[in-house]
Structure 1
């Protein structure tokens, strides 16, 4: 048995990670491959090189961008993916219950955790000039507040204060955020027209700092969860804040996990939906984010789901947990 360790040197130092790998790896395993990512390709070449070695386990130490690239590549190889959170958001790790605060625990999970099959999303966007591009996503994509916030986040500030840099960016963009008319179609049904300032399509529901945005999302249910954020005036923003606050209360999380709550209801400020495929056409172009990375502007997008596409290592207590972490 042999593991490959793909690491982003700007996020994780090998000298810090190596002792943890050495103490957690089974004694009868061979010496692991160590492969450093290249900033020019977000880790794609490193992951491809690792999988070409015919390894039994792929460990990825980096941020959400590196994890997303690795997840997409690992689906074809069916090699278990183990995440060593080393970014700001660590979104997929949070949704899988992997410890994002303790390196030793995360590495231990990589070797002795249980395997779990999860879904992977796929997004196709059409740019204003008509060109199209495809992107895999493990957590969430969207346009509006989240994409503008990510686009305006100061990278130097993020290195200093972490996720608090997103709060700073949100404060700067929320007052100038324009609404856009969007035509949405779920699973080939009728087209719904709505005026929104944010649209989210998620495979998972938990974002930065553990905040639940899509309470019904499950990483292995074969469905995408959709949210149309459409507050009107101060009252609408207060309603939206109330929805999110209630969804993040400990009691609400526990009741939902135990099956005592039904599906999240749609309100005037926030509409929810579920589908295997989602299509949307915007009347004006907007920046689109994929798992925390802005990938360009779009006037149309299509999102689908690859069910049970990825095998991941998770803590044993989360191996069969379909809901968000409490």
Structure 2
């Protein structure tokens, strides 16, 4: 047995990671093979090299972009993925209950954790010029507040204060966020029309700093969860804030995890849905983000789900749980 380790040298120190790997790896395993990502590559070359080396386990130490690339690649290679959180958001790691604060715990989980099959989303977007592109996603895609916030985040500030840089960007974006008419169809059903400023489609429901925005999302239920954010003025934004605040109360999370809370209700300011496939067409182009990376402008998008496509290592106590508390 042999592990392949893909790491971003800007986000994690190889020597420190190597010490943790040496202490956690089973004695009978061969020496791991290391692959470094580069500044002009999200990790695709490093991940492919690791898989071509015939590894039995892939450890990925990097940001959400590198994890997304690795998740897409290992689905066809049938190699388990172990996440070593080293980014700002660490979104998939949070949703799987992996410790994002301890390198030691994350590495131990990589070698000793349970294996869990989870879904992987797939997004196709149509650009204003008619060209199409496809993107895998493990956590969430969307346009509006989240995409604009990511696009406007100061990278230097992000390096200094981490996720708080997103708060700064949100404050600058939210007052000038434009609405757009959008047509949405879920699973081939009736097309609905709405005026929104944000649309989210998620395989997971928890985002930066552990905030739950899609409370019914479960990473292995074979469904994608959809949210249409459509506040009318300041009162509407207060309603949205109220939804989010209630969903992030500890008691709410516990009741939902234990099955004592029904599905999230839809309101005037925030509508929820669930589907295996979602189609949306926008009246005007908007920037689209995929797991925290803006991938371009779109006038239409289609999102689907690959059920149980990805095998990940997760902590024992959370191997069969949904949203992390």
Task: Please confirm whether the aligned pair reaches a TM-score higher than 0.5, indicating the same fold.
Answer: yes
Matches within 5 A, 1:1-326: 1-321=1-321, 323-326=322-325
1:8 and 1:74 map into 2 onto residues whose CA distance is 18
1:256 and 1:81 map into 2 onto residues whose CA distance is 27
Instruction: Provide, for residues 70-106 of structure 1, a one-character-per-residue CA deviation record: whole Å limited to 9, x for no partner.
Output: 0000000110000000000000000000000000000
Note the C-alpha offset of 1:210.
Answer: 0.0
Note the C-alpha offset of 1:40.
Answer: 1.7
1:199 and 1:292 map into 2 onto residues whose CA distance is 14
Instruction: Provide, for residues 13-59 of structure 1, a one-character-per-residue CA deviation record: whole Å limited to 9, x for no partner.
Output: 10111100000000110000000012222000100000011111000
- 5+ residue gaps, structure 2, are none
1:83 and 1:243 map into 2 onto residues whose CA distance is 30
1:180 and 1:39 map into 2 onto residues whose CA distance is 35
**What is the DSSP-based 3-state SS (H/G/I as helix, E as strand, rest coil) of the residue aligned with 2:22?**
helix
**What is the DSSP-based 3-state SS (H/G/I as helix, E as strand, rest coil) of the residue aligned with 2:255?**
helix
Note the C-alpha offset of 1:220.
Answer: 0.1
1:18 and 1:39 map into 2 onto residues whose CA distance is 21
Q: Which moved more, 1:187-196 or 1:8-17?
A: 8-17
Instruction: Provide, for residues 203-223 of structure 1, a one-character-per-residue CA deviation record: whole Å limited to 9, x for no partner.
Output: 000000000000000000000
Note the C-alpha offset of 1:10.
Answer: 1.1
Q: Hey, which bits of structure 1, 4+ residues long, moved more than 6 A?
A: none
**What is the DSSP-based 3-state SS (H/G/I as helix, E as strand, rest coil) of the residue aligned with 2:246?**
helix
2:82 and 2:64 map into 1 onto residues whose CA distance is 13
1:114 and 1:51 map into 2 onto residues whose CA distance is 21
Note the C-alpha offset of 1:245.
Answer: 0.2
2:38 and 2:132 map into 1 onto residues whose CA distance is 25
Instruction: Provide, for residues 262-286 of structure 1, a one-character-per-residue CA deviation record: whole Å limited to 9, x for no partner.
Output: 1101000000000000000000000
Instruction: Provide, for residues 161-216 of structure 1, a one-character-per-residue CA deviation record: whole Å limited to 9, x for no partner.
Output: 00000000000010110000000000000100000000000000000000000000
